[in-house]
Structure 1
Amino acid sequence: MKDLFAQAKELDAADPLAEFRDRFVISPAAAPQKDLIYLDGNSLGRLPKATRERMRTALDDEWGAELVRGWDHWITLAREAGDALATGVLGVDPGEALLCDTASINLYKLAEAACDARPGRTVIITDDDNFPSDQYVLQGVAQRRGLRLEVIRADLDRGTTTEDVAAAIARCAPDSVALISLQHVAYRSGNVADMVAVTRLAHDAGALVLWDLCHSAGAVPTPLREAAADLAVGCTYKHLNGGPGAPGFLYVRGDLHEQLRQPIWGWFGQTDQFAMGFDYRPVPAIERFQVSTTPVLAGYAALEGIRVTQAAGMDRIWAKTRAMGAYAEQLFDAWLAPHGLELASPRGDRGAHITLHHPAAWQLCQAWKAAGVIPDFRTPDRLRIGFAPLYTTFAEIHEGFARLRTIVESRSYEAFPVERSRVT
């Protein structure tokens, strides 16, 4: 086998996205560790340099100088960012995506709208490996509406399959399923759902389907157009590098805009909003799913992150996502599997993270952080390792895994407490 470090150097030398690393803030002068390796870009992306400049302009030239006059251009920011997402990241048409609210609030809005569009149907389908916030939102929608939540019992390492969805539909009475809501990329294992096949199953059952794109947008192609997917939500602070707490986004297929009415009727969704009319008449466009004022500074940050992804191109990003995952598998097989760690992700294509299982995963995570590598922990006993195609290098992956190998071989992780902190 080729030397693994030499392989990393070759992959970095041939990386068509290599120049994008320079567009991010890496190891600023104030950083406590100059040799920090960041493998958690699937939780929070790095800061784009362009965002710092955009914030300065927004503060000094717009808010500082223009004052309220800035709304002449701020008012279209949600749509501007949505169109950049649509064409540069999601592969759908302008006017089908909107930057607004959070992923969870958007999930609620679209789930309620979908159930309203399927009157008389009594079932929502999801899985128990869905992100907790999604589960809670869907539980609340089902309880409030008196619907049954059909929950797929997913394999945590394999993820929910098309067969699992078909079986769940089969357990329901004919014409009873209103909505199916799943992750496109599983937050724990990285499994990529077959969006096309699952959407077809939903449509064959007469249901709408609502996808969570939080772990795929900016890392994995989202075949919304090919699937004729109905609805989707996502966030911009992970692979889209919009910053902590950045706004979420929603997608609604164009022909559904006038068929759906979301439950939070707000001023920004109103036709001719400055007429200040009493009766609510939603605009016949994606803006009907907006509720209130766009958070301008956070919106600008999200837009700059989206633009970096747009410039890189999803085809090149996806190619590097797969290459990084394949290289990490080699390191795992050679260095970590012999010491009892197990691969808790599907092999081959998956999202931009790989998950390992070990009974002491929490302690391993803390020891790895102490060694200058930032990964992530997820229950139960999973070490989640995120790769960001725009700025993670293969040499960093090699060095990060080498440090983990040392920790495992020396059993130095045993010195770290087993008690978990609030933030994992």
Structure 2
Amino acid sequence: MSGPARSRSAELDAADPLASYRSRFVGSDDPAVVAYLDGNSLGRPVADVAGRLGDFVAGPWGDRLIRSWDEAWMDEPTRVGDRLGRVVLGAGPGQVVVGDSTSVLLYKLLRAGVAARPGRREVVVDRDNFPTDRYLVEGVAAECGLDVRWVEADPEGGVTADDLAPALGEETALVLLSHVAFRSGHVADVEGLTALVHEAGALVVWDLSHSVGSVPVELDAWRVDLAVGCTYKYLNGGPGSPAFAYVRAALLPHLQQPLWGWMGHADPFAMGPSYEPAPTVRRLLTGTPPVLAMQPMQAMLDLLEEAGIAAVRAKGMALTAHAVALADERLAAYGVRLASPRDPAARGAHVMLEHPAFREVTAVLWRDGVIPDFRPPAGLRIGLSPLSTGFAEVERGIDAVAAALEEVGAGAPGA
């Protein structure tokens, strides 16, 4: 298939200041993968991760053995947390910790947040938030005898001040929102919505899973209370890599998470008779932190620090704009529609396309080495990790979608 976008792909790749980064990821030259359009679900491994892990096994683990706990590993959750804060979170030192899964850390923050607002009876979340986020809110509300207030927002956009304001009041204890919506890719006004929650006297938890590493984040400047996010999407930490949690420094003395464990104790090796939480962000820890699993994401932090998050964001907007232009040009005639904000600045690094046949289409695409993901009921999510994705790769993927639509009998242009 030809069209004006074909020459644009080559021109955009040639002009891309971040093009050289693509070769620094495993599989970037794999002919079996025609287009990897799912970097927002699982990022490619950085090329030097295998060497880093080998060095870790031979050195801190194999040579130093248990001595490494005293020499480095006890501080790894906060050391890596501080680096995340500096490189991609806009957070000063002492406010970010790495460990546990996103779900476990989110549970800890939700329980701690509602406990910090005693007497208030409601927790607020939007109906289109990621399922785990919604389920955890419902579970915490059930445990604590609270009510859930649901925010209704445009599913092809996201939560706005007009959507959120009616759900807030004197009974609001905590609000949970996502910075970038997992379906539509809508970028929320974190600063404005956080201020609105604070006016109601409540706390807010932001899920950064679909923004961290691809969209600038300024947690301190935005006066965010609490935040959580995964590290296996745009931070390329690998399947099941540990999540991170942020607690605004002023809240730390007043925040008590529910899962008390020895690693969160003020003096872990005292092995004392009762629990005393650490005065620092370490109080969010429970058990032994996954030190080995923290290593791969640090290779991606090297790349992000080198490239700069502003350049990464610019590339992400350009990639999604290119994907939308290609979809308009080559897929609209099949009945495919955009289910994301059309303004590149209003969405993260992924776009959602919709068509009733996309479940079948996704199976065909995966068979043929084109890898997006399907989101029910009819969404094809195109995730474009800025440092590892090229413009021609996006074009190959969109052309494959058109071919797959024809293969599954979903119609043809002009039909």
- Structure 1 counterpart of 2:65, which letter? L
Hey, what's the Cα distance between the residues in 1 that align with 2:185 and 2:371? 18
Matches within 5 A, 1:57-72: 57-71=55-69, 72=71
The equivalent residue for 2:235 is 240
Instruction: Answer whether contact 1:43 1:238 (CA < 8 A) is retained.
Output: yes
- Partner secondary structure for residue 65 of structure 2: helix
Matches within 5 A, 1:308-319: 308-319=303-314
Hey, what's the Cα distance between the residues in 1 that align with 2:386 and 2:146? 41
What is the CA-CA distance between 1:371 and the residue it aligns to? Answer: 2.6
The equivalent residue for 2:185 is 190
- Structure 2 counterpart of 1:4, which letter? A
CA offsets per residue over residues 81-140 of structure 1, 9 Å max, x none?
Answer: 101110000111121111111111111101111111100000000011111111111111
Matches within 5 A, 1:293-312: 293-312=288-307
The equivalent residue for 2:386 is 389
- Structure 1 counterpart of 2:321, which letter? A
Instruction: Answer whether contact 1:252 1:286 (CA < 8 A) is retained.
Output: yes
Matches within 5 A, 1:131-150: 131-150=130-149
What is the CA-CA distance between 1:200 and the residue it aligns to? Answer: 0.8
What is the CA-CA distance between 1:313 and the residue it aligns to? Answer: 1.4
The equivalent residue for 1:377 is 374
Instruction: Answer whether contact 2:90 2:219 (CA < 8 A) is retained.
Output: yes
The equivalent residue for 1:334 is 329
What is the CA-CA distance between 1:217 and the residue it aligns to? Answer: 0.4
Matching of residue 254 in structure 1 with residue 252 in structure 2? no
Matches within 5 A, 1:152-301: 152-169=151-168, 174-301=169-296
TM-score, structure 2 as length reference: 0.94
CA offsets per residue over residues 154-205 of structure 1, 9 Å max, x none?
Answer: 3221222221111222xxxx41100000111111111111111110110000
The equivalent residue for 2:102 is 103
- Partner secondary structure for residue 293 of structure 2: helix
What is the CA-CA distance between 1:73 and the residue it aligns to? Answer: 1.2
Hey, what's the Cα distance between the residues in 2 that align with 1:168 and 1:413? 44
The equivalent residue for 2:129 is 130
The equivalent residue for 1:24 is 25
Matching of residue 4 in structure 1 with residue 5 in structure 2? yes
Regions of 4+ moved over 6 Å: none
What is the CA-CA distance between 1:216 and the residue it aligns to? Answer: 0.4
TM-score, structure 1 as length reference: 0.92
Matching of residue 357 in structure 1 with residue 354 in structure 2? yes
Hey, what's the Cα distance between the residues in 1 that align with 2:205 and 2:23? 36
What is the CA-CA distance between 1:27 and the residue it aligns to? Answer: 4.9
Hey, what's the Cα distance between the residues in 1 that align with 2:357 and 2:403? 15
Hey, what's the Cα distance between the residues in 2 that align with 1:319 and 1:62? 38
Hey, what's the Cα distance between the residues in 2 that align with 1:55 and 1:95? 26
Aligned length: 406
Matching of residue 52 in structure 1 with residue 82 in structure 2? no
CA offsets per residue over residues 383-407 of structure 1, 9 Å max, x none?
Answer: 1110010110001011111222223
| Farther off after superposition, 155-164 or 227-236 | 155-164
Matching of residue 38 in structure 1 with residue 33 in structure 2? no
Instruction: Answer whether contact 2:90 2:221 (CA < 8 A) is retained.
Output: no
Identity across matched positions, percent: 46
- Partner secondary structure for residue 233 of structure 1: strand
Instruction: Answer whether contact 1:342 1:358 (CA < 8 A) is retained.
Output: yes
What is the CA-CA distance between 1:34 and the residue it aligns to? Answer: 3.3
Hey, what's the Cα distance between the residues in 2 that align with 1:6 and 1:262? 54
Hey, what's the Cα distance between the residues in 2 that align with 1:352 and 1:280? 43
Structure 2 unaligned segments of length 5 or more: list them: 411-415
- Structure 2 counterpart of 1:7, which letter? R
Hey, what's the Cα distance between the residues in 2 that align with 1:35 and 1:289? 40
Instruction: Answer whether contact 2:106 2:228 (CA < 8 A) is retained.
Output: yes
What is the CA-CA distance between 1:278 and the residue it aligns to? Answer: 1.9
What is the CA-CA distance between 1:35 and the residue it aligns to? Answer: 4.6
Matches within 5 A, 1:412-423: 412-414=407-409
Instruction: Answer whether contact 1:162 1:193 (CA < 8 A) is retained.
Output: no
- Partner secondary structure for residue 7 of structure 2: helix
What is the CA-CA distance between 1:347 and the residue it aligns to? Answer: 0.9
- Structure 2 counterpart of 1:241, which letter? N
Hey, what's the Cα distance between the residues in 2 that align with 1:291 and 1:15? 44
- Partner secondary structure for residue 408 of structure 2: helix
- Partner secondary structure for residue 315 of structure 1: helix
